[in-house]
Amino acid sequence: MFNGISDYKYGFSKPENYVFKADKGLFKSTVEMISGHKDEPEWMRLFRLKSYEIFLSKKMPSWGGDLTGINFNNIYYYIKPIQNKARTWADLPEEIKDTYDRIGIPEAEKKYLGGISAQYESEVIYKSIQGELHKKGVIFLDMDSGLREYPDLVKQYFGTIIPPADNKFSALNSAVWSGGSFIYVPKGVRVELPLQAYFRINAANMGQFERTLIIADEGSYVHYVEGCTAPIYSTDSLHSAVVEIIVKKGARVRYTTIQNWSANVYNLVTKRMRVEEEGFGEWIDGNLGSKLTMKYPSVYLVGRKARGEILSIAYAGSKQHQDAGGKAIHLASETTSRITSKSISKDGGRTTYRGLLHVIPTAKGVKSKVVCDALLLDEHSRSDTYPTMRIQSKDVEIEHEATVSKIGEEQLFYLESRGLTPELAQAMIVNGFIEPIVKELPLEYAIEMNRLIQLQMEGSVG
């Protein structure tokens, strides 16, 4: 009955069960409808409409990956989530179910990831965490609720780090966003446990056009974790998120993403942090799935002694292109940055490192290190590096290293001669390669990541 792309996403078992769905395609009326349906303040409605105009006026990026497969008219831009389960386990493709089993993720999580359950069954944990956060004055909501409950705070920062005009996809997201997270950490407050998107009961987080805004006030600390290593099954062909983070004086924010979209998804995400004096902003970004990912988390170091760090892992298998990297923009003196990128290409997959290091003329005593390493698992795979350096100050210390290596037959033979299967041998080499980044992940993610790599290697060595 509903054969559209997004029908699976939140599930529609019976026609009368759905609450609201916009038509396919993007028109001014679609944007109006989304805003009206959410009962948003006037400024947000205007923001969306302006963004829509910008989206129309901007050309598709001609650099990076091949975007010709995207048809903006064939996408649902808004579907009001239904909380009850609708899709059944049986509807999921076998390979996805199989992967869930083999990674060993819990049943409740499986259903959530597969889109069967709109609620992750961790409501109890969620409530106790919310209680703790509330006592400290920390706000942790989905973005829609954030806008409803804290309109002034949202208005002050929303779209200031990544304006709609930044690029075509940030304009698109600004016009049609739904879901995502809103976090505010007050002055001097340290949130010791990582905040995970899982613990929010709203499935809207997994939406197509989610919008996240994090404000870490002076001297505060927060670690946000999103995504998971298990494949996210989505029938949506386009995922385009925007993540804006403000790191105030002396604050520290770490943002960890592990994403494993199914192989039909275009994953085009804009992520940026503004780091003020003596603040520290970190991106840990793992991209495993999707058809094409274009994602370059960036740090804008605007205050003296601000620090930025970007760790990126990309894995590209058959028919996948991971165009990823990072950007560090040094706008103040004594700022430091470090970009570490590790990519793995296999079965004809393609990885691209694309990075920018920019130091303005007035920034003195700037330090930066960029390391990008690529590992090719076979002859058909490909890796390219595009490191752009725009260094306008003389008072800088810049290091740049890049390596491309291949897994050698002799390395595999050595490990096999110790009783390891070729698959295990290859997985060990790959895990060794990404270890410097994996060790920065929360433990459960690190374990899943290792298992996943092992799974990807199976059946790959002839």
Partner 1 sequence: MNQVLQIKDLHVAVVKKPIIKGLNLSLGKSQLHILMGPNGSGKSTLTYALMGHPSYEITQGEIWLNQVNLLPLKVYERARIGLLLAFQNPLSIPGITLSNLLRTAFIEIYGKEAMSIIEFHKLMQTKAKLLDLDPILLKRGINDGFSGGEKKKAEMLQILLLRPQVAIFDEIDTGLDVDALKIVSYGINLLQKEGVCILLITHYQRILNYLKPDRVHIIMNGVIKTEGGFALAKQIEKKGYTYV
Chain residues 433-452 in contact with partner 1, contact rule CB under 8 A = 433, 435
- Select from 131, 419, 443, 459 the one that contacts partner 1 (CB under 8 A): 419
Q: How far apart are CA 17 and CA 15, in angstroms?
A: 5
Q: How far apart are CA 257 and CA 283, in angstroms?
A: 8
* H/E run at residue 31: helix 28-38
- Give the pair of three-digit tokens for residue 72: 């903006």
Residue placing its CB nearer to partner 1 in the complex, 153 or 461: 461
Min separation Cβ 442 and partner 1, Å: 21
- Select from 130, 145, 235, 411 the one that contacts partner 1 (CB under 8 A): 411
Stretch that binds partner 1, among 80-88, 96-104, 115-123, 406-414 (CB under 8 A): 406-414
Strands 280-287 and 292-295, by their bridges, are: unpaired
Q: What track of x and - describes contact with partner 1 for positions 70 through 89 (by CB under 8 A)?
A: --------------------
Stretch that binds partner 1, among 72-80, 204-212, 264-272, 418-426 (CB under 8 A): 418-426
Residue placing its CB nearer to partner 1 in the complex, 360 or 424: 424
- Select from 49, 424, 447, 455 the one that contacts partner 1 (CB under 8 A): 424
428 lies in the binding site for partner 1 (CB under 8 A): yes
**Angle, in degrees to the nearest 10, between helices 168-176 and 28-38:** 50
CA torsion angle for 431, 436, 441, 443 (degrees, to 10)? 60
Stretch that binds partner 1, among 110-118, 232-240, 303-311, 403-411 (CB under 8 A): 403-411
Residue placing its CB nearer to partner 1 in the complex, 394 or 418: 418
420 lies in the binding site for partner 1 (CB under 8 A): yes
378 lies in the binding site for partner 1 (CB under 8 A): no
* H/E run at residue 342: strand 336-345
Beta bridge partners of 314: 287, 343
457 lies in the binding site for partner 1 (CB under 8 A): no
421 lies in the binding site for partner 1 (CB under 8 A): yes
**Angle, in degrees to the nearest 10, between helices 28-38 and 42-57:** 160
DSSP string, 150-176: -HHHHHHHTTTSS-GGG-HHHHHHHHH
DSSP string, 274-327: EE-TT-EEEEEEEE--SSEEEE--EEEE-STT-EEEEEEEEEE-TT-EEEEEEE
16 lies in the binding site for partner 1 (CB under 8 A): no
- Select from 139, 415, 447, 455 the one that contacts partner 1 (CB under 8 A): 415
Min separation Cβ 417 and partner 1, Å: 5
Q: How far apart are CA 259 and CA 422, in angstroms?
A: 26
- Select from 16, 39, 192, 410 the one that contacts partner 1 (CB under 8 A): 410
For partner 1, the binding residues (CB under 8 A) are 408-411, 413-422, 424, 428-429, 431-433, 435
